[in-house]
Amino acid sequence: MKGCLLLDKPCGLSSFETIDNLKKITGLDKVGHVGTLDPLATGLLLTCLGKATKLAQFLSGWDKEYVAQIKLGTNTDTWDREGNVLETLQNPAVTEEEVAQAVKQLTGEVSLLAPEFSALKYQGKRLYQYARAGQKVPRPSKKVHIYSALILEFNSPFLQIKISCSKGTYIRSFAYELGQKLGCGAAVWELRRTKLGPYPVEDSLLLEQVKEIVKNNQIEKHLISLPNVLAHLPRVVLAAEGYQKVRHGVAFKPQDILEHDPFQRDRWVRILDPEQELLAVGRALCDSGTLLANPEKALFKYERVLVN
C-alpha cells in the first residue's frame, strides 16, 4: 500500500496521535503526515502511507486555508482556548468596523510573533519545552503571507474568519496580533483547516470512514498516487532502460529521456517511467533549455529514489 490519504483530523487528538490511529487501522508501520495541526484543530491532514512517507519534504511548501473562530477580549498563555487564561474582558468595546480595519492591517506580507507554545526551536530546544518549564526565551518573529482574511461572521466577542496563508503561519499568532491591534486581546477558540495546496477538506475522510473502507478493501481507491501527489513538479519521463540507472543511482543521459516538462535549475522534478510510475525525485542541475548542451554531464541529483 502506497500513496497519500486525505484525513479529516478530529478535535482533541494531536497529529501524531491521529497518525498512530491510522497505523492501527491500516496495519502499516510507515505512516506520516504533512503539516501538523494542534489538538484543538480539526480538518485536513495529508497523510503519507508506505513509500509516500519519502515524499513529505516535497509537499511541505503548500499554502493553506483555515476557518477560525477567534474570541476577542481573552488572553491565554497558549493563544488558544486550551491555555491558562491570563486576562478576560467581559464585553470588549470593539466594533465590526474596527475589527475589519485590524484584519486588513494583517493581510499581505506580515511579521507574526511565534507562540511560546510552539515547535519552533531556540538553541536546539522546542519553544514549548521552555514554556512548560516556566523559562522565558527570545521568540522569533516570522514573515508570512496572509493572502486573504475574510470575516464570515462577527458576533462579539466571537469572530469567525477564513484565512488563506503561506506555510509556517500560526493562526494563533494571527489571533494574538489581532488582539494587540484592537487593544483587547484575542485567542483562537476553534480552528479548522479547509485546504492544503490543491486539496479541499471536502475530499477528506474521517477515521471512522477509513476503518470502513479498510474493512471492505477499498482504501486503494481513495489513495492519491505518488506521481499525482507530486503533480506540481515538472515531469521527466525516461525510456524503459532508464529504470535500472535510477535504481542503482547512476546518472542518466539526455538520450534516456523520452519527454519532459520545462524545468529550472536547482528545482525539483519527478522522474517517471514510460507508464508514468514514479521512479525518483531529483534536483535539476541545469535548465531544461540547456539539456543538450552538455550531454556527458549529470543532469539531475537524486533526492529520493523510490525503486528498489
| pLDDT at res. 31 | 96
- pLDDT surpassing 70 at residue 301: yes
In terms of domains, do 162 and 72 share one?
yes
Residues 73 and 124 in one domain: yes
Tally Cβ neighbours within 10 Å of residue 259. Answer: 10
Question: Considering Cα of 10, then 12, then 14, then 18, what sign does the dihedral take?
Answer: negative
Exposure class string for 138-157: b at 16+ Cβ within 10 A, else e: ebeebebebeebeeeebeeb
Q: Is there a single domain that holds both residue 258 and residue 210?
A: no
Average pLDDT of the chain is 92
Catalytic residue among 38, 80, 256, 273: 38
In this prediction, residue 120 carries a pLDDT of 66
Does 177 lie in the same domain as 78? yes
Average pLDDT over residues 112-117: 80
Specify whether 261 is catalytic: no
From the list 261, 247, 234, the residue with the least C-alpha distance to 304 is 247
One domain, residues 160 and 145: yes
Other beta carbons within 10 angstroms of residue 211's beta carbon come to: 16
Q: Find the helix or strand (DSSP H, E) in which 151 lies.
A: strand 141-155
Q: What is the mean pLDDT of residues 287-291?
A: 88
User: Confidence band (pLDDT; 50, 70, 90) for 70?
Assistant: very high
At 241-282, the pLDDT tens digits run 888 889 888 888 888 999 999 999 999 999 999 999 999 999
Distances (CA, A) of 6 to 42, 48, 66: 13, 9, 16
**pTM score, whole prediction:** 0.91
Number of structural domains the chain divides into? 3
Q: Among all chains, which residue has been given the C-alpha cell 513529505?
A: 56
One domain, residues 15 and 88: no
Do 78 and 180 reside in the same domain of the chain? yes
Same domain, 24 and 68: no
Same-domain status, 68 and 130: yes
The mean per-residue pLDDT over the stretch 93-97 comes to 92
Lowest mean pLDDT among 33-42, 92-101, 138-147, 204-213: 138-147
Lowest mean per-residue pLDDT among 97-106, 131-140, 196-205: 131-140
CATH code (residue 165):
3.30.2350.10
The answer on 190 and 78 residing in a single domain is: yes
Same domain for 268 and 288, yes or no, is yes
Domain that holds residue 131: 64-194
Whichever domain contains 238, its CATH number is 2.30.130.10
Whether residues 283 and 177 fall in one domain = no
